[in-house]
Structures are given as structure tokens and as C-alpha cells.
Amino acid sequence: MAYPVSPLAIPFPDLPPIAGATARVVRAGYKDWGRCDLTFIELDEGTSVAGVFTRNVCCSSEVEIGRENVRHGKARALVVNAGNSNAFTGYRGREAVEQIMEQVSAHLDCAREQVFVSSTGVIGVPLPKDKAREGVTKALVAAPCSWEDAASTIATTDTFPKGATAAAMIGDTRVTISAIIKGSGMIAPDMATMLGYLFTDAAVEPAFLQTCLSAANLRTFSCITVDSDTSTSDTVMAFATGKAGNAPLISFDSPGADAFAAAVHDVCRQLAHLVVRDGEGASKFIAVTVTGAVSDESARRIGLAIANSPLVKTAIAGEDANWGRVVMAVGKAGEPADRDKLSIGFGGVWAAREGLPLADYDEAPVAAHLKGKDITVEVDIGLGDGTATVWTCDLTHDYISINADYRS
């Protein structure tokens, strides 16, 4: 079922091609939706890989196998199936993944563990092996496509394709990152998020690529939430083809390593924000900034408690400056907080400071701020130097409508 494009949508950017990475898409027919639903990305020999994966203990075989194989550090292909998550499907689900890996590795004459598979969609239905086999057969010889085509093909309830790019200088060599992601609901990552893929022509050793991706994930994907639900299939992977010709990045001591790590973080932040902007039923993009916590991690947990609160999210949907609900969320977070030191604000206007409503508080500018599409909530705990920003969206009736008929 198609849904109206999110009012927070951002046009797909002009993503540069990445030497050594070729995308192709086909229709495998996993659902009767009349569009491409299988993405195949071929990667040149020598491509480094890194990944972060969901901590949901009911994860798919794709996640289990990917988590094992990413440790080898090399990749030759990525296959993404849309419309069927292949999670909670037992040995039949694993057989489907292994069949895809075997089929692609035979075609590319590479080790099976260099083929990565992701699937997204309905939980509890085994991925049809016949459709997967036929889809992969077509994908192996399909014409190359754009990153926008690939981004559209990996989507499920997304209302717009999502992509991001950044560049960095490594010595005299310019390296580029192009990335795509899908995600709209079941978004509350714990170590990863949705399905996201970064491709770069930089030469990067696998261990350092993993360091960069894990660090970026912690400050971006692990700081967003739509509905507090962590998916069974969440995966973010980075692939470095090495075609730019730079001296390989081995550690932060390598020239240009800081610039590359910053570019990875920038792309991950862009992608994370796009997922929130396409949150199911979203009408407002919300940034919650927490300062004065006892640690950065404590600030992040408090921010997520606020961002996950249905009462806070519905108040913002209704453009109601109900700061008492923010107080409630801080108090339930399970983190150190002192009622008499707590300050709450919206859009840069403080409503309460150090445990008390401000006598001269004027709600008019706050009400005006809440009528916009980009909302900020500020919370100062007053106990330390810990800071964090998390991102979420409001909760509207459309979220219920989308998820009530998701399988139909």
C-alpha cells in the first residue's frame, strides 16, 4: 500500500558514483506491489567491509550470518530483499540466505562469506527460495542503475528514497562516500538501525573502517527513535573499494584519517535524520538536546526517554507546550536527576528553570515554534557536564493507520 509522501521529506541528492561499486535492481515479486524489490550491488575484489547490527535477540538469519562474516573484513556483493524480513523463520530462513550467498559467490567466483544479504518487511514468513533464486539470476545480469533506484528498491513503508554523500581529503586524494538507507517504522536502534549502506572509494583497512562506523553509529543512528521498537533486521554496513588510490587508512595515526572519520559521521547523521523525517505518520522533526547530565551516556538515555514518550510526542503533534510531560519523561528515565535543578525549554525559550516555572514565562513564542515542522526541546539536568542530542518525530493518528494495515 502506498502512503502520502512525508511532509518532512527531503529530495534525493545527486549521489556520485563510487568506483568499484555497481548497483542493479530487479523485481523478484516478494509482494504483489508491482515494483522492484531486490537490490544487487557488486563490489570489486579487495573491498573492505564493516557493519553494525541489531541487538534484538529475535534477529533474522541475515543478521546472524552478516555479523559472523563481517569479521573476515572483505566483501564482493550485497543483496537486499524488500517486502519480507525473513525473520523468525527458523532453518527455512537460513537456507534461503545461504542459497543467495552460494548463487552469488559462484557467479563472482568468490568466498561465500564475502556475500552479504539483508531482508526487510513482514516478520514470520520465510523468504521464498524460488523467487529469490529467480530474482538473483535476473539481478546478476541486469543493467546498472542509479543510487536513487537502489534506495527506492530497498524501501518498504518509506514514503521517499533516502541518500546522503560526503567527501574528504586524504593527502592529495579526494575520497567520496555515497550512502542509501531505508527506515520509517520499528525505529529504536540499539547498536544499529534499519537498513543502511555506505559506499566509499577510499582505501581503508577493515578494522579502521569498523572503528569509524561504530563511533558514528553511537552518535547518530543510536540517537534516533520513531516508536521505541528495535527491528529484528537492523543493519548498517560500510564498504570501501579502495579505488581512489589513497594510502590505505590503518588507524587515526594515518594522514587524513580524522577527515575520513568526520565524513563517515556526517553521512550517518544525514541518513539518521532522513529516517526520522520519514517516521510513519510524522508531521514534525524533533531534536531533544540534554545538557547538565552526569555523563554523555546518561544524557542520551534521558533524551531517548523523552523522545520515546507517547505523551510528549502527541503533545507536540497537537502543538501543545505541555512541558510537564517532559518533566515526567526525565523522571522515568532511570538516570540521575534532581527535580529542583531541572530546566525545560522549547525552541530556545525556557519554560521552567531550576525546578520552577518562570514567573515571566510567555507561551506565545513557544506556541508559534510548535506550529513549525522542525521542533527543538531543551533540557538541562543541572548535575554535570554530560550532553547529548537525540532525534524523533511526533506521534499522529497516521502512525496507527499505517501499522494497522501493514500486512495487507
313/399 Cα distance (integer angstroms): 12
What 3-state DSSP class applies to 198?
Answer: strand
The DSSP 8-state label assigned to residue 78 in this structure reads E
Beta strands in 265-342 (DSSP E): 285-293
284/256 Cα distance (integer angstroms): 37
What 3-state DSSP class applies to 85?
Answer: coil
CA separation (Å) from 137 to 27, 36, 86, 96, 119? 11, 14, 19, 14, 17
307/94 Cα distance (integer angstroms): 35
Residue with cell 554496513: 237
Burial status of residue 405 (CB atoms within 10 A of its CB: 0-12, 13-18, 19 or more): exposed
Q: How far is CA 275 from the centre of its chain?
A: 6
Q: In degrees, to the nearest 5, what angle opens at C-alpha 77 toward C-alphas 16 and 171?
A: 45
Phi/psi region, residue 194 (left: phi>0; alpha: psi -120 to 50; beta: rest), is: left
- The active-site residue, picked from 156, 193, 211, 396, is 193
The DSSP element (H or E) to which 208 belongs, if any, is: helix 206-219
Active site residue 22: no
Which are the catalytic amino acids?
193
